[in-house]
Structure 1
Amino acid sequence: MTARRTVESVQDARNTTPEGTAAPGEAPARVGYGALLRTPGAWTFLAPAFIARLPYAMLGMGILLLVKDTHGSYGTASTVAAVAAVAQALIGPQTGRLADRFGQAPVLVPTVVVHAVSVGTLIALALGQAPTWSLFLAAAPAGASVPQIGAMVRARWIATFAAEGASAASAARTSTAFAFESVTDEFTFVIGPILAAAVATSVSPSAGLAAEAALTLVGGLAFAAQRRTAPARVVREPGVRQASALASPGVRLLAAAFLGVGAVFGGLQVSVNAFADSVGRHGAAGTVYGVFAGGSMVAGVLYGMIAWRRPVQQRMIISYGLLVLGCSTLWAMPGLVSLSVAGLVCGLAIAPTLISGYTLVETLVEDGAKTEAFTWLTGAIGLGLATGATAAGRLIDAHGPSVGFLVPVAGAGLGLVTLVALRGLLVPRGARPAVVAGAAERGAPARLAGAAEG
């Protein structure tokens, strides 16, 4: 890519159409997955990124299985997992901000090394029957050092398409890329819990976490080595302070909505494990959770194949409403088969919600804060996961596994109410013609044509 590329957009703000849609009377722009994956250089970062992000879904499950085995309580295990998730939610955006400023590789390399060491320490403490407070101390850096690979990959897609010039086609490629990334995220949620559970049950509970640390280290270093496709770091003007992505009200609203999505993930992980235990089928927990994530993956694939005419803001509210509806049946399921079916239906709403959110956040912040913005959303999911897992664990210990399934519907319901009440914040303020010269060097904003506009 070249930082000196000049991008001119003559589209007036009043004529700006929603992302991924077309002006009245025009056919929507559409880019298929095949064309996306033929983008020069794409596979050089996608392959190592997949390895590095696979453990994201293994960490919580691995901690849960290990600590439950060594300390005998779902409440304790879910709280330790929650500490890791909270640390990730708080520190992840800061690593994203550093990556925007100093580049991805200088931030990623020390991060994955710290992660491997922290997870190793947590395993040793758990196996040594160390006090619970010491597990918290080890879980915090383990979560804080989870590499923000998904956000970094999305930032690479944006940099790639922005270098081609602002156009409806580049906006369509971005939308398809975000759909592809959501599908990849969901695929890792299909494979990750199954892999962690399989290794933990067939080898040992500690082996699941050890595999997570090894994959993170190897994949993270391989991804960091692909510097050619990395976004140019943003050099700020002297005396000019770069505002945090969280300064945008729209980003804050999306983060709040993603807290609800995270509560669905966290509540389900703990509740599914406890439910499988209660019927004597502990090894089936990863499969049941994988079915839920598989439904999301299928929905994400279909979402990316459609040339949407409906504004992305509306699409997010609709998909979020369907998520609440799907979660409302989980607590009443009598067996693993029916729970799997209900989880599949619930999962169908996850990917459309996430894709819409990530697409919207790209339009709400400037180039120098995009990686940070993505990590705030990812961190919000982690924080919601921590809250949901802790609440579900406590409810399960006190009232049984079925009660834990009330956490996902409560979290998603609160998220939907917030999203609907403040939906006006999702409209970018004052879309304007963009003339960018050397934006990556001077810190000036660059925006793809066809950005979301309410």
Structure 2
Amino acid sequence: MPTSSSSSARGATGDRTPGYRQLLRTPHAWSFLVPGFAARQPFAMLTISLVLLVQHTTGSYGTAGAAAAVTGVSMALCAPRGGRLADRYGQRAVLLPGVVLHAASVGVLVTLALAHAPSWALLIAAVPAGATVPQVGPMVRSRWAVALNGSAPPLRAAAAAFESVTDEFTFVVGPVLATALCTSVHPAAGLMTEATLTLAGGALFALQSRSAPSPHPSGAGRGGGHASALASPGVRALAVAFLGIGAVFGGMQVSLAAFTHEIGRPGVNGILYGTFAAGNMLAGVVYGAVSWRVQPRTRLLAAYAALAVACVPLWMAHSPVLLGVLGLLVGLCIAPALITGYTLVDTLVQPATRTEAFTWLTGAVALGQAAAVTVAGLLVDHAGSRAGFTVPLAGTTVALAVLLWLRGRMVPPTRAVVVAGVIGHRTPVSVD
């Protein structure tokens, strides 16, 4: 039987199933959505811009993949720490110095690449460039969690879908823009634009303090401090799932670039990758508009199985049109896994570690992407683009197997039971 508070929460969003229209009417939402979109755009440009610049200056996809991998590993290792600091001291305190350091690091990397510095120098310079990538996506998701506190669960699910769609829209625009800049303006134009957008967009987002979550300097819990979000078994299981998704992104980026280079049409690369990302975005729009009755864990496993199957025929494609269709199909399978994963993680952790939990997932994608671009780059150098397309299949297959093994860990603990929109009870709450 519904409680009075649950009735009020339902009334706040209307009698209809909450959706995007109700979501965008959330007070102060636009104050962080617009600058947040600008600030996260560089993330979609960094890897492909770096690959194109380093490949141009060194002539090796292996070196280019290694440099991109270093940035991804650095980001994956440092992003959760940045999220933890943002939870403790506030987003502005972390973001403002971070965007300045990132812009400076990218500037150094570009200078070294254009000076034809040795590979080891490029790899060293790639470390701070990746470590300082601003985690705007997780910060926006944390702001949604605060803005929707007490709202109906379907509205929070719509927010997760909306964020995934926004992420993928950046991956429609970003690679196309980066490729056009690198191939038509200058090989370094992509990275320089990425640094400029990071600095301007990140600073503007950081200044929107009204919608930011409150810092938790003393942590959560009676002991005065809180454990890392990764202490949750469910977060660890989801991190494995996102590693596989990262393998798809990284493998597709390098292999598509190599394929278009092989056929003498490098400018098509951005269109093909944009088509792949467009499939992801389209699936996200539809997925978020549906009121699902199936449990999130079941949806995640089903989406992963579909993703692994969709990756099978990639290596057999011989034309840009066929590869575009297959890439679109792969993209359609990614969004359900991403959206469900982000929805699940919000139920597995306390508010004091929410941003950190989101950054573990984002970092897992970056780590999977880093491993994928390295392996795919080596395979492309030795066996061509067809070999590189086996990386997404291998990554998703392994991740699916591990995910099936760890599926029992993706269940919210009893202390996180949601009743009337309230999260974080230490003891189970009885409901009539």
Q: Same fold (TM over 0.5)?
A: yes
Aligned-pair CA distance for 1:236: 2.0
What amino acid does structure 2 have at the position aligned with 1:400?
G
Aligned to 2:12: none
Are 1:382 and 2:366 an aligned pair? yes
CA distance in 1, matches of 2:26, 2:276: 31
Q: Counterparts of 1:346 and 1:402 in 2: how far apart (Å)?
A: 16
Aligned to 1:192: 174
Q: Is the 8 A contact 2:417 2:424 kept in 1?
A: no
Partner secondary structure for residue 403 of structure 2: helix
Number of the residue aligned with 2:342: 358
For the 8 Å contact 1:199–1:207, the answer to whether it is kept is yes
Matches within 5 A, 1:164-179: 165=150, 169-179=151-161
8 Å CA contact 1:267–1:388 kept in 2: the answer is yes
Aligned residue for 1:74?
61
Matched-pair contact (CA < 8 Å) for 2:416–2:424:
no
Separation in 2 of the partners of 1:204 and 1:432? 52
Q: What's the secondary structure of 1:232's corresponding residue?
A: coil
**Partner Cα separation in structure 1 for residue 263 and residue 207 of structure 2:** 46
TM-score normalized with structure 2 length: 0.93
Mapped to 1, the partners of 2:69 and 2:269 lie a distance apart of 19
Q: How does 1:156-235 map to 2 (within 5 A)?
A: 156-162=143-149, 165=150, 169-235=151-217
Residue 134 of structure 2 is aligned to residue 150 of structure 1: no
What do you get for the CA RMSD once the two structures are aligned?
A: 2.1
Which amino acid is 2:58 matched to? Answer: H
* In structure 2, C-alpha distance between the alignment counterparts of 1:432 and 1:202, rounded to whole Å: 52
Matched to 1:375, the amino acid is T
Given residue 31 of structure 2, which amino acid in structure 1 is its aligned partner? T
Deviations 1:63-114 (A, max 9, x none): 0000000111000001001000100000001000000000000000000000
8 Å CA contact 1:112–1:220 kept in 2: the answer is yes
- 1:52 and 1:207 map into 2 onto residues whose CA distance is 18
Q: 1:106 aligns with which of 72, 87, 93?
A: 93
Deviation at 1:445, TM superposition (A): 3.8
Residue of structure 2 in register with 1:367 after alignment = 351
In structure 2, what residue type is equivalent to 1:137?
I
One of 422, 426, 429 as aligned partner of 2:413: 429
What are the within-5 Å matches in structure 2 for residues 1-400 of structure 1?
30-162=17-149, 165=150, 169-236=151-218, 240-400=224-384
| Structure 1 residue 29: Cα displacement | 7.2
The structure whose residues are more often helix, as a share, is 2
- The CA deviation at 1:190 is 0.8
Counterpart contact for 1:52–1:216, Cα < 8 Å: yes
Amino acid of the structure 1 residue aligned with 2:174: G
Of all paired residues, the percent bearing the same amino acid is: 53
SS state of the match for residue 152, structure 2? helix
Aligned-partner Cα distance in 1 for 2:34–2:215:
23
Q: Is the 8 A contact 1:295 1:348 kept in 2?
A: yes
Contact 1:29 1:172 in 2 (8 A): no
Q: What is the CA-CA distance between 1:313 and the residue it aligns to?
A: 0.6
Residues 29, 307 of structure 1: 8 Å contact kept: no
- Distance in structure 2 (CA, Å) of the matches to 1:328 and 1:433: 39
Q: What's the CA shift for 1:446?
A: 7.0
CA contact (8 A) 2:135 2:359 kept: yes
Q: 1:160 to 1:58 in 2, by over 3 A?
A: same
Indicate conservation of the 8 Å contact 1:367/1:446, yes or no.
Answer: no
Residues 316 and 94 of structure 1, relative CA distance in 2, 3 Å threshold: same
SS in 1 for 2:156: helix
Stretches of structure 1 that go unaligned for 5 or more consecutive residues are 1-7, 12-27
What are the Cα deviations for residues 320-359 of structure 1, in whole angstroms up to 9, with x where unaligned?
A: 1111011111000011110000000111011111000001
The amino acid of 1:73's aligned partner reads S
In the other structure, the counterpart of 1:17 is: none
Q: Would you say how many aligned residue pairs link Structure 1 and Structure 2? A: 415
Stretch deviating more after TM superposition (390-399 or 234-243): 234-243
Provide the C-alpha distance between the structure 1 equivalents of 2:173 and 2:230, rounded to a whole number of angstroms.
32
CA distance in 2, matches of 1:406, 1:9: 54
Q: Determine the C-alpha separation between the residues in 1 that align with 2:416 and 2:108.
A: 51
CA separation of 1:358/1:435 partners in 2, compared to 1, >3 Å: closer, same or farther? closer
Measure the CA separation in 2 of the matches of 1:362 and 1:278: 44
* Aligned CA distance change for structure 1 residues 93 and 402 (closer, same or farther; 3 Å): same
Q: Pairwise mapping of residues 393-408 of structure 1 onto structure 2 (< 5 A)?
A: 393-408=377-392
TM-score, structure 1 as length reference: 0.88
435 and 277 in structure 1: CA distance in 2 versus 1, 3 angstrom threshold: closer
